[in-house]
Amino acid sequence: MTSPIRLAINGASGRMGRVLLDLARGDARFALRAAVVGAGAEPVGAPVGGVEAPGALRYSAGWAEAPPLDVVVDFSTPAGLAAALDHCESHGIALVAGTTGLDAALEQRLQRAAGRIAVLRSANFSLGVAVLTRLLRQAAAALPGWDLEILEAHHNRKEDAPSGTALALGRAAAAARGTTLEAEAVYAREGRPGARRAGSIGFAAVRGGDIVGEHTALLAGPGERLELTHRATDRAIFARGALAAAAWLAGRAAGAYTLDDVLMADA
């Protein structure tokens, strides 16, 4: 694309949304055209950036007044993502979706939408996690008899558990072992759950303070163990990855894309 990409941020008042707004406003690849927040959210109608001026971009609740767009970047809530998806589908706009904790119905809607618009989803937009996923696929396949546990830690306001990233890691490892997460996942243990079932993939979630996001894939064999860990210390990594994905996705044909597609293009 030659002219700046017309961009909307959905969930613009959230932790991720605020970082995305800061980065996008200083990024010459983009023309920021909409900052969408939940209905009744505090900043509705206020100018983005805080400076009153005629024609200033303002936070909006919903999509009714949205201008023409090339791409929407969504880090909001499942309901917020569903509303953005409606708008993108009916106007042929590409969608980068970062929201996690979706139910099966919304997962299916996103898959169907990829028949009509370009949709790029990732449970984790960091480069380090993309590489961790590749390393885990290798390790899970090379050590098939070892017990695999996925541990994650996040801030105390996170609503879903295990994290979307932990589930994506589990899915990647299960596929590398020729099975599925549905068949192997163990999400909770308490009381007397009995001995660990061979081949299962266990999850543990820690919540506290302002932890941005930590994931460890622990592979335990007889007499040794391997731990692959990623620690995010700054949410800007997710925002940078999502904006790189948006720049790559704008103008593409309909389809379901992943962060790997963007990384391969850069490789």
Binding site for ligand NAP (CB under 6 A): 10-11, 13-17, 36-38, 41, 75-77, 79-80, 83, 98-101, 122-125, 238
Q: State how far the Cα of 69 lies from the Cα of 89, in Å rounded to an integer.
A: 12
Distance CA 119, CA 85 (A): 9
Q: Residue 149, annotated ligand binder?
A: no
Please state at what angle helix 236-249 crosses helix 15-25, rounded to 10 degrees.
60
Nearest residue (CB) to ligand NAP, 36 versus 173:
36
User: CA 21 to CA 75: how far, in whole Å?
Assistant: 11
Closer residue to ligand NAP in complex, CB, 11/170? 11
Rounded least distance, CB 62 to ligand NAP, Å: 7
Closest residue to ligand NAP: CB criterion: 14
Beta strands in the chain (DSSP E): 5-10, 30-37, 59-61, 71-74, 94-97, 118-121, 147-154, 185-186, 201-207, 213-221, 224-232, 255-257
Nearer to ligand NAP, 38 or 170 (CB): 38
Q: Is 90 annotated as a binding residue?
A: no
| 144 contacts 108 by C-beta, under 8 angstroms | no
Cβ atoms of 148 and 109 within 8 Å: the answer is no
Q: Is 87 among the residues known to form the active site?
A: no
| Residue 139: partners with Cβ closer than 8 Å, 6 or more residues away | 217, 219, 226, 228
CA pair distance 18, 16, nearest whole angstrom: 6
Give min distance, CB of 190 to ligand NAP, in A. 25
Which one, 78 or 199, has the nearer CB to ligand NAP? 78
Catalytic entry in 87, 154, 215, 230: 154
Q: Which is nearer to ligand NAP, 110 or 219 (CB)?
A: 110
Q: How far is the CB of 2 from ligand NAP (least distance, A)?
A: 29
Is 45 labeled as ligand-binding?
no
Distance in angstroms (rounded) separating the CA atoms of residues 158 and 166: 14
> Does 17 appear as a known binding residue?
no
Q: How far apart are CA 115 and CA 256, in angstroms?
A: 8
60 annotated to a ligand binding site? no
Q: Is 91 a catalytic residue?
A: no
184 is in an annotated binding site: no
Enumerate the active-site residues: 154, 158
User: Which residue ranges make up the annotated binding site for (S)-2,3,4,5-tetrahydrodipicolinate?
Assistant: 155, 164-165
User: Which residue ranges make up the annotated binding site for NAD(+)?
Assistant: 11-16, 42, 98-100, 122-125
